Amino acid sequence: MKCRKCGEKAVIHMRQHKLALCKNHYLDWIPKQTQRFIHDNKMFSPEDRILVAVSGGKDSLVLWDVLSRLGYQVDGLYIGLGIDGGNGYSAESRRFTESFAAEHKLDLITYDIEEHEGLDIPTAASMTRRGRERPCSICGLSKRHIMNRVAIENNYDVLVTGHNLDDEAAVLFGNTLNWLTAYLQRQGPVLPNRSGLVKKAKPFFRFYERETAAYALLRGIEYMYDECPHAVGAKSIYYKELLNRLEADRRGAKLSFYLSFLRAKETMVFNSGGDDVELKLHPCTSCGQPTSTPDLCTYCRTWKEVRDRRETMLEQGIES
Amino acid sequence: MTARIHLRDKEFKVRSGMTIRSALLKLHIQPEAVLPTRDGELLTDDEILQERDEIRLIAVISGGAY
């Protein structure tokens, strides 16, 4: 297969676009497309200070690379979760992130959960009823809270994440299976800022997962290849596999599923039954971040429960 | 007349002469979920497998959520 632009040997074929490109044209195409997505969706401008959440995986490192190449003022935020899983998952992810930042002379903020909360994510999860089997709930909750807090406290205008189309389509699929209209209303490539909540954007929302991986490979970006050990068997991965089966038979199915959802949302299809879009927010009595729950926000309440439980266990002489 | 396809710690033997895409579908590997490489070079999946080819697949699906 030949590159559509120059006729050289292609290295990637994007069937949904009927587009094959050689290495050089592909490395040129990804940033140009990203710039188009940023502009068309009014995500941010060159004057904005941007914070990118970096996990050490391919999507977030590629996003950091592309945004800095495009000339944006973009710093990284790495959140240390303390997950080992037999492969030193968090330590390795941090190593890839720090080495990328150093190599590209980019500023990185590191936030270690254990340092701030006294416990790492797996230990904390083991002390909650929901988290014993799977720590993803407290992990996701903590990351979302910390990302917002760090962005607000450091005066960033926008928080960006490396979510790709496969991520978005999988979430959409899950929300649609259960008709979670409140979640459907909130899903999109840009979430505007509200009092105390930073604006969020997903500049890679139209790229397939294999496209960000291909960019990392061709650009020589080293990333954490292994998955989080707790993601094994996750519903999101199962949905991605189902959608990829559909894509194999019908090229463009994933893209069309997500883009037609965004169009349907514009026509207010999901807005009639929603109940919590305009929830009244007030500051959490502990951390001051906006919350819709009375008194403490979910983050502070969950971590308080974790610390209380740990104290009780220590009093009873039980090792966590 | 075989080529070998590697995915993580698994190795599959397939007949040469077919495209990588056909081989992946025969092996029940979703072509969208991997990137084929030979000697570290990225390949399109219409590439015909040659005898003694060693194709390494890079898995691209990631899980977890922000």
Residues A252 and A291 both lie in one domain: no
pLDDT per residue as tens, chain A (320 positions): 999 999 999 999 999 999 999 999 999 999 999 999 999 999 999 999 999 999 999 999 999 999 999 999 999 999 999 998 888 999 999 999 999 999 999 999 999 999 999 999 999 998 887 666 678 889 999 999 999 999 999 999 999 999 999 999 999 999 999 999 889 998 999 999 988 899 999 999 999 999 999 999 999 999 999 888 888 778 889 999 999 999 999 999 999 999 999 999 988 766 655 444 556 788 999 998 989 888 999 999 999 999 999 889 888 887 65
Residues A92 and A237 both lie in one domain: yes
Is residue A236 a part of any domain in this protein? yes
Domain B2-59 has CATH 2.60.40.420: no
Residues A197 and A208 both lie in one domain: yes
C-alpha distance from B11 to closest chain A C-alpha (Å): 18
Q: Does A244 touch chain B (CB under 8 A)?
A: yes
Overall pTM > 0.90: yes
- Checking if the pLDDT of B65 tops 50, the result is no
CATH of the domain at A68: 3.40.50.620
Is residue A18 a part of any domain in this protein? no
DSSP for residue B19: B
Is residue A179 a part of any domain in this protein? yes
- Checking if the pLDDT of B63 tops 90, the result is no
Is residue A65 a part of any domain in this protein? yes
Residues A246 and A290 both lie in one domain: no
CA-based nearest residue in chain A for residue B64: A231
Domain that residue A304 falls in: 279-320
Domain assignments of chain B as residue spans, ordered by start: 2-59
Residues A243 and A314 both lie in one domain: no
Is residue A8 a part of any domain in this protein? no
CA-based nearest residue in chain A for residue B34: A210
Residue range B20-48, pLDDT digits in tens: 999 999 999 999 999 999 999 999 999 99
C-alpha distance from B61 to closest chain A C-alpha (Å): 7
- Count of structural domains within chain A: 2
Residues A294 and A157 both lie in one domain: no
